[in-house]
Amino acid sequence: VKGPEVAWYLAVAAFLFATGALGVLIRRSPLIVLLSLEIMLNGGNLALIAMARHVGNLGGQIFALAVMAVAASEVVVGLGLIVAIARRKLDLDVDKLRTLRG
Amino acid sequence: MIVAASAGNALVWVVWVVAAFACLGSGIAVVSFSNPFYSALALIGNLGSLAVLYLLLSAEFVAAAQVLIYAGAVMVMFLFVIAYLGGRADAPWAGGPSWQTVGAVAAAAALLVEIIVAIGLKAGGSLAHGKTYAGFGNPRSIGRVFLTDHLLAFEITSIVLLIAAVGGVVLGSYARREHWGSDRAKPEAER
């Protein structure tokens, strides 16, 4: 069983990455920005695994697992920041949180 | 024999098309739902259909880890935080098209075109499935490669997770002290 070629998987990965980038750019709620970041990371993961299948080497799958660990850490820190922001009664709006801007 | 093989191939194509469109549709749903709770639910569907694609690419262990870690643990954490914050609505397309939304759509479209052109130029039409061996991508082979060839990556991953756990605890303890920001701004005598 072979199914579609690896290029089709890469096309899906490119669409996922672009969808996630659109969400990061367009949304104001930091929660949904984090969810869109997850979509971008998953697009990258799909490309890594598709190329691992193309090359016939497990290195790409190992890389995908490492990306998953990094994504989980990023969610922990991001959600911690969001909860801290909400506890200080600041607006959950990435356009209004601009105090750090230089 | 050939009939059976082509029937199997057609079945793989059907599964691929369903999973790929579910993946793209739920990705767009995550970006366009105004309620963050529905966005998180759509992301669970996205992760599940991606796991199906991973299975088709003979990445069994990664598919299992995807369902357990992402769709299980990470999304439960997301849903807890959304429930805690009360899921405030945030309409993405409210107030008509501003320069920011137009720019964002243009930037995302440019990124998509760029990726597709880069892939097409680099490997136009030569992306067939490569040769694999028996047990490619099962837990046994992943474990062997992870603990021999990629041992450094394994150890660095553990350190990254440890740092993230420490960071989560630190951020949580700051969030528990209600007025730490305004308290610190006061002069010493008023505390």
Shortest Cα distance, chain A CAs vs residue B190, angstroms: 20
Flag if B136 and A58 touch (Cβ within 8 Å).
Answer: yes
Nearest Cα to A45, choosing from A92, A82, A1, A9? A9
- pTM value is 0.86
The single residue listed with the structure tokens 């990258």 is A44
Nearest Cα to A59, choosing from B153, B57, B128? B153
pLDDT on residue B71: 87
pLDDT confidence of B191, banded at 50, 70, 90?
A: very low
CA–CA separation, B159 and A53 (whole Å): 28
pLDDT tens, B118-142?
887 777 666 777 777 777 888 899 9
- Answer for the pair A39, A18: CB distance below 8 angstroms, yes or no: no
Measured between CA atoms, the residue of chain B closest to residue A22 is B108
Q: Please name the member of A58, A68, A87 whose beta carbon is closest to the beta carbon of B145.
A: A58
Interface test with A, best of B37, B90, B149 (most A CBs within 10 A): B90
Cβ contacts (< 8 Å) between B40 and chain A: which residues? Answer: 35
Q: What is the ipTM score, two decimals?
A: 0.90
- Answer for the pair B56, A53: CB distance below 8 angstroms, yes or no: no
pLDDT tens, A57-69?
888 999 999 999 9
CA–CA separation, A10 and B99 (whole Å): 31
Q: Angle at the Cα of A38 (from B50 to A43), degrees rounded to 5?
A: 50
Distance linking the first and last C-alpha atoms of chain B: 83
Shortest Cα distance, chain B CAs vs residue A101, angstroms: 18
pLDDT confidence of B47, banded at 50, 70, 90?
A: very high
